Structure 1
């Protein structure tokens, strides 16, 4: 039954995520965190950050990892299949239809209407991550990271993966320093 749930979760999010990866991320989060409860919001945020740092389509990377985590190798293949094959099939069908009716006003209107909806989905996901980050980091540090990242990407043109990698290195360095100081404290207290 677990393999069926993996297929359904990624099939639904892939089919309803019109516009590609960014618009499907909130749908994947809904399926994985809220519907099936395979992971919590923090774990999903970690998967999303890692998927953003790697090359390739984000939905496929997330589907592969989450499918593997939930159902092993078969789950990984199942999730990737559920994400890729129906989307590719629909894309071919829609491209044929759009090419046949490209001069119709309703096709142009439909294409233009998708952009704001995808923007709203991304805004909701962003706000949800900001709220969760503020609970663990505090509002000041969260807003500093949000605005610092935004300015760095927009003004300097730095790729988001580079920012994520830098922040991961900083977090790991801070964690290692903390564990070293804790070990030294334990050694002192044991003497």
Structure 2
């Protein structure tokens, strides 16, 4: 049953994760944390942060880790296959069929209509992460880190992976210095 659940969870993510890895993150969260309860929000946040610092597609890395955590090596392979195969098949089918229709307004409207939905899903997930960070770091530190991160990424153009790595080091040093966990 567990292998079937892993496959179905990541197959749904692969089928519905329109827009790439960032769009899949809320779907992964819904499956792994809310639906199957394979992990808590805190662990999901840690996996997301670590996955963002490593090269490669985030959805595949998260699928691999979650699959491994739930059911070992076979769970990892199952989750990766379930998340990648639908994308490959759909990409081939859609690119071949939509290439001939790409100039039509309904195809452009379909693409433009999905973007706000993905934006809302990412905003909800961001709010959930911010709420969790307030509990761990406090409101002041959380706001400061959001502002500094936004400035580094948007104003300076620093790659988000460097910001995430820097934040991980910051939190580690803050806990060590403050005698944390």
Instruction: Tell me which interval the TM-score lies in, with the shorter structure as reference length.
Output: over 0.9
Query: In structure 2, what is the equivalent of residue 65 of structure 1?
Result: 65
Q: CA deviation at 1:177?
A: 4.2
Q: How far does the alpha carbon of each residue in 1:132-179 deviate from its partner, in whole angstroms, 9 at most, with x for none?
A: 111221111111111110011111111111111122223333444456
Is structure 2 residue 79 aligned with structure 1 residue 79?
yes
Query: TM-score normalised to the size of structure 2?
Result: 0.94
Is structure 2 residue 128 aligned with structure 1 residue 133?
no
Distance (whole Å) between structure 2 residues aligned to residue 89 and residue 69 of structure 1 = 27
The 5 A counterparts of 1:134-153 are 134-153=134-153
Distance (whole Å) between structure 2 residues aligned to residue 105 and residue 122 of structure 1 = 26
Query: In structure 2, what is the equivalent of residue 56 of structure 1?
Result: 56
Between structure 1 and structure 2, the one with the greater Rg is: 1
Describe the SS at the equivalent of 1:101. coil
Q: CA deviation at 1:105?
A: 1.6
Distance (whole Å) between structure 1 residues aligned to residue 133 and residue 26 of structure 2 = 17
Query: In structure 1, what is the equivalent of residue 19 of structure 2?
Result: 19
Distance (whole Å) between structure 2 residues aligned to residue 51 and residue 5 of structure 1 = 22
Describe the SS at the equivalent of 1:48. helix
Query: TM-score normalised to the size of structure 1?
Result: 0.89
Distance (whole Å) between structure 2 residues aligned to residue 168 and residue 118 of structure 1 = 26
The change in CA–CA distance for 1:103 and 1:171 in structure 2 (over 3 A counts) is closer
Query: In structure 1, what is the equivalent of residue 90 of structure 2?
Result: 90
Q: How far does the alpha carbon of each residue in 1:3-25 deviate from its partner, in whole angstroms, 9 at most, with x for none?
A: 11111111111211111111111
